[in-house]
Structure formats: structure tokens, C-alpha cells
A = this chain, B = another copy of it.
Amino acid sequence: MIRKYTFGNPMETDAVVHKIEKETGEVPFMGVGADQLAFTYKMDDNTRIYGLGENVRGINKRGWRYISNCSDDPNHREEKNSLYAAHNFIIIEGKERFGLFFDYPGMLTFDLGYTSSNDVSIIPAEDGLDLYIIEGESIKDIVKQFRRMIGRSYIAPKWAFGYGQSRWSYMDEDEIREVVKEHRDAGIPLDSVYMDIDYMERYKDFTINENAFPEFPKFVEELKEQNIHLVPIIDAGVKIEEGYDVYEEGVEKGYFCKEEDGTDFVAAVWPGKVHFPDMLNPDARKWFGQKYKLLLDQGIEGFWNDMNEPAIFYSEKHLDEVFEQLEDFKGKNIDLDLYYKFNSLVGGISNNPDDYKRFYHKFHGETVRHDKVHNLFGYNMTRAAGEAFEEMEPDKRILMFSRSSYVGMHRYGGIWTGDNLSWWSHLLLNIRMMPSLNMVGILYTGADIGGFGADTTEDLMMRWLEFGIFTPLFRNHSAMGTRCQEVYRFENIDAFKNIIGIRYGLLPYIYSEYMKAALKDEMYFRPLAFDYPEDDFAARVEDQLLIGDGLMTAPVYEQNAKGRYVYLPEKLKMVKMKSLTERSVELLDQGHHYVDIDLDETVIFIRPNHVIPMSSGGQSVAEVDFGSLELLGYVEDKAVYELYDDDGYGKDYENSDHYTTITVSQDGTVTAKGIIERRYTLSI
């Protein structure tokens, strides 16, 4: 049951698709502040809090203060309060169980036992929000009700479930050709290569650097023939440059964000000075979305939207002010005070909060200062693309994921988890963040495997891939200036080939589970506590996840570790894999285990009476034979698997032909009900 309470005059964010009438009575569960709008709750010692999507720290979010304030911050450190997203949905599970969604586009603080251990306090910067309170028979039920309310999650094309290689940046055709060749030569599967900002002509959106890519459509085609998709990045800022059509059109049509005086707001990002398209204005959004056609027409079938918090290296006005103030330092004897003044002056240039008060949107017909709707910008940039794709390619899925997001954006694209670091603790963060993203409908997601910033190591890359093979977005990405981390650059290339190969082997399961999660408003990744609510210990487990219907993963995330402790909420079948075919199997009892896991070993745990449909792999998704499945399973009585499969491009999701019901009986008989004929082999 969902109840909606309105405070002040909220702005319509379009987060909610299935509208609900607002209640007039008292808000249940929560105290509501008398003077300042604030929502409070008293926890008992065992209360846990789930949610908040993209954030630092644990699966249980209790014990910290989080602030929804989309931020371009590449240091995902423990003490950070904000990352790139605003995912204002939490579930409180303790003496009471309920979900809370705050539909509010401004800054929102979640003090979850930070100031005082048992006190929850949620405070918006200003009045004007819709609060949804969701009760349900279980955590999963609450998530499902919420997800249904906010609409179906984005579905990526099937090829985007393959392995992607990225780097900031592959500078030209030949570099990309080499990356592809090295993978193909070594037999490492690969489906996509990502193009970071340098593919553009001086960072101008929807342009191609013609020196580096002289015949781009031909190059796109050349790679497609090898089953490789090129995925270019699109930035939020449009370069100010005479003769650049996107800029000129935007100015002419008045589609850019304005200063208070009505002139176009000038910030700077990669291209230098830019205007921001007013993504909150439907006309501007439509116009910007149509621009993706320039690349679609050249054969591109996927994009990632970046810098859309929006990041601001500097605003023109503020930088002018800074340089004016620097004049004061001229000829001075620089003492410590002056030096500190200098430091705070220059340290405050990027992503300055005041800059977010310098520009305005046209939003629902009104002029709204940016900071009041800040968290909607990235969402609406991706919505611009998503709505345009729907119009331009009504029958074809286009890959789309974003850096910044708000609840609602999950309908138009996924996210990657931004500029993480080559830290072991960020592998753990990746694990912990996946279920909370699924809670807000973001299913197509994953981290930069191996870490974006800082230098990676071979073992970190290997361990990270062993988890990464389960994330729908499965991409190796790294920053300029860091150690190159394409897996063929390391020593044990065979191990990498085998681990990535396991992903391709698991694809029938991963794709099927993803699609069912999307179509049924469910979670692909779940903490143990969600599936085993009666198991007190399951609630403590912060480093194992359930993936789809039948699998549990317990990744190794510590350097030099040769294994780890694993908690089994029930008897499970452990399958250790050095490759798709080199496997060992062991039944483990419910309870605690220490499991040896070699550096090059991937371990999965299969739930009783479940089978995992697997393929024999392939060098790309297109090569994977979904028609011939091995059923890797743990069948005590009978296992029934509902397989979803389709052509991977189309949108006729409701077509029942996509489903096959596979039944494995105790004696090993396999029967399949569905229109598609497949061959099955059984490994139980």
C-alpha cells in the first residue's frame, strides 16, 4: 500500500508514472517537524536501513549522513555525503517496516543515525515535496510496489551485456583497431569499445574528430563486422563556438540555461566555455535528443551521457571574479594568511555551489533557479535521449547510460557508478551498491572494472572481473595517466580470457534474469536479507549477493587473499570455475564456511531446486548460442526455470513467445514448454 503526502507546492519531477491521490491525514511512522520541514523516526538497535541508490558505505545505510546533491566528485571516499545521483528512496526494517520516497528535486539530507545513533532525520533544503510511504509484506514487496509506481526500467540491447573495453581515451581508429585485435587474437570475448571525449572535434557534442576518424561510418561498420559496437560519450555542455550548429541553434531557439538577466549562462567544461541545454524545458529537451540522430545515422547504437550533474570546471563570471581578486595579491609579500586566502580562492573554482545559483531553467512554464531543481538535470539529459530514441527508433533498443541520475531516469537508461578508483575497497563498494541501485529501478549498471582513477594491479583487475561478470554493464574503464588496464596487457591473459568467457557462458541466465527483473519490477541483485528475512544472520551479510533467481555470489575483494568466509543461508551447491568448462562442484551445508578461492577462480553458489541455463560461450554476444543450453543446477526434487530470451534488439517484450519454462525432474528429465526449440544438456 502506497500513501502520498504533499508538503508545500512540490514541483512535478515525473519520477512517478502511476499517480496516486494524496492523503490528508497524519503521516504514519514519521514525525514531521513543526518549524522546519523535517521527517524523523526513532530506531531500535536492530533497525536497518536500505536504499539511497548510488552512495558510499554499506548495504545497510545506517550510521551516516547522506545528502542528495548530484556531484561530480571522483573521490568516492567513506566520508563523502554525495555522489552523482539523488535516489531518495529508503526502506526502514526494524520494529516496523516501511518504505519512504521523497520526490524532491533539491538538496535533501538523510541523517540515518549519524548525529544520534537511533535517530533518523530527513531534511529538505526547502518546502515543497511529495512523500510516499509504502507498506508491504516484505522488503521485496515494498520495492516492487515502488518500482511499479515509477515505471518500467530501461532495457539495454543484448549486445550491451557483452564485455566492453574503455579508456579515456582511445585517440584514433588505429588505437581502437589494436584494442579489438588484441582481444580477438587472445580469444578474449569483446562486444564494445567505448569512445571517451577525445573522439569529438574539440569536445563538441555530436561531432567527430575527422583527423582521428576520417571515415567514421565506415569505421563503425568495419567494427560491427567484427561484432564490436562503438559507444561514444556525450557531455552535458555545448561548446560556444561560432559556426558550430548545435551551439548556434541552441542560442537562436533560446534552449540554453539562462542567467538571471536572460543571457545564456556560461560555464566551462572539457570544450572550454559552454552553454547548458535546458534539459528541463520540454522543447529544449526534444531538440537536444534529436541531435543523437547525427550519430545514429553513422551507425552508432549506444551512448553514455557524462558530466550531467552538471559538472562545472568554472563559470565565466566566477572565474573573472577570482582573477580580479588575484590582482590584490600582485606585488604583495605573500604571508600565510594571504596564501590561505589564495588557496581558498583557487580551490573553490570547480563545482562551486554558488555557480548552481547563477542559472535558470524554464520548468513547467516557470523560471526556476537551478539549485532548486539541481538533481533533475542528468535525469532529463538522459530522458532527452531516451524520448528521442523512442521516436527515432521505436522498434530498436539503443544503449544508454548516464553518470548523474534521479529516480525516474531508470526508464530511459542505466548508470555507470562514475569515476571510482583502483581500490580494493571500491570493488567492495561496487558489490554493495548494486542492490540499492536496483531498488530505484536502475538495473543496467556496473562500475568501472579495475578502477577508473589510480593505478590498478593484475590481481585487482582479476578479482574485480570475477564480480563484474555478473553486472549487466560489464566494462573495463580507466583514466588518462593511469596504468593501462586492457586485460591483454597483463601476464595471465588466459585467466582473464577464461573469466570473461564465464560471463558469456552465463549470458542466457544473466540476460533472462535481467529481463524478468525489468519486466516484473523486481531486483536482479539482492542482499541476502531480502530473500531470507527470517534469517537473522543473513541481515548481517554485506559482501554476498543474490543474483537473479538461483545464484549467490561471494566475491573476493582483498589483495593477496586466497579465499574468504562465506555464509550460506541454506544448503547450496558451490561451483568453482577456472573456465566455463573447468569446474568443480561441492554441496555445502547451511552456515559458515571458509572457502579457498584461487586468484583466477570464479565461484558461484546455486540454490536448491534451481538450474542456471548456460551457453558454451563465444567471442561476442552474437556468437553465443542461446539455442543450446547447459543446465547447471542443484536439483533435489524438481527445478523449474522460466527462461526469457528474445532477439536482443526489439521491444516486443510482452510477447509470450520469449518465455520457455524448463523443468528438470529429480531423475534428470528435462522438459521445456515454449515456442522456441532448444537443446538442453544437464549438469547437476
By a beta-carbon cutoff of 8 Å, the part of chain A in contact with chain B is 48, 57-58, 60, 62-65, 77-79, 114, 116-117, 268, 270-273, 313-314, 319-320, 323, 326-327, 329-330, 334-337, 339, 342-343, 346, 421-425, 453-455, 457-459, 491-492, 540, 542, 558-563, 565, 592, 594
Contact = CB atoms under 8 A, between A and B. Distances in A.
Contact of A272 (B319, B335, B491): B335
Given A329-B323, A457-B114, A565-B592, A270 B79 contact: no
A317 to B, nearest CB: 11
21 contacts: A48-B560, A57-B559, A62-B559, A62-B560, A63-B457, A65-B455, A77-B454, A78-B421, A79-B421, A79-B455, A114-B455, A116-B491, A117-B492, A272-B337, A313-B336, A313-B339, A346-B346, A425-B425, A540-B561, A540-B562, A542-B561
A268 B423 contact: no
B336 A268 contact: yes
A323 B330 contact: yes
A321 B60 CA distance: 51
Given A117-B491, A491-B116, A336 B560 contact: no
Contact of A594 (B65, B457, B492, B592): B592
Contacts of A558: 58, 542
A272 B341 CA distance: 13
Contacts of A79: 421-423, 453-455
A273 B335 CA distance: 7
A206 B273 CA distance: 52
A60 B559 CA distance: 9
A117 B459 contact: yes
Given A60-B560, A323-B330, 8 more contacts: A48-B560, A57-B559, A63-B457, A63-B559, A77-B423, A117-B459, A271-B336, A327-B330
Contacts of A563: 540
Nearest to A567: B594
Nearest to A268: B336
Contact of A268 (B117, B339, B455): B339
Contacts of A327: 330
A534 to B, nearest CB: 17
A351 to B, nearest CB: 13
A457 B119 CA distance: 13
Contacts of A592: 565, 592, 594
Sorted nearest first, the 7 A-B pairs with minimum C-beta distance are A79-B454, A272-B336, A78-B423, A565-B565, A346-B346, A272-B335, A60-B560
A326 B345 CA distance: 14
A203 to B, nearest CB: 9
Given A62-B560, A346-B346, A562-B540, A78 B335 contact: no
A271 B335 CA distance: 9
A350 B652 CA distance: 60
Contact of A560 (B58, B424, B425, B491): B58
A327 B346 CA distance: 15
Contact of A64 (B314, B323, B457, B492): B457
A592 B565 CA distance: 9
A527 to B, nearest CB: 12
A272 B340 CA distance: 10
Contacts of A459: 63, 117
Nearest to A118: B491
Nearest to A421: B79
Contacts of A337: 272
Nearest to A64: B457
Contacts of A454: 77-79
Given A63-B559, A565-B565, A323 B334 contact: yes
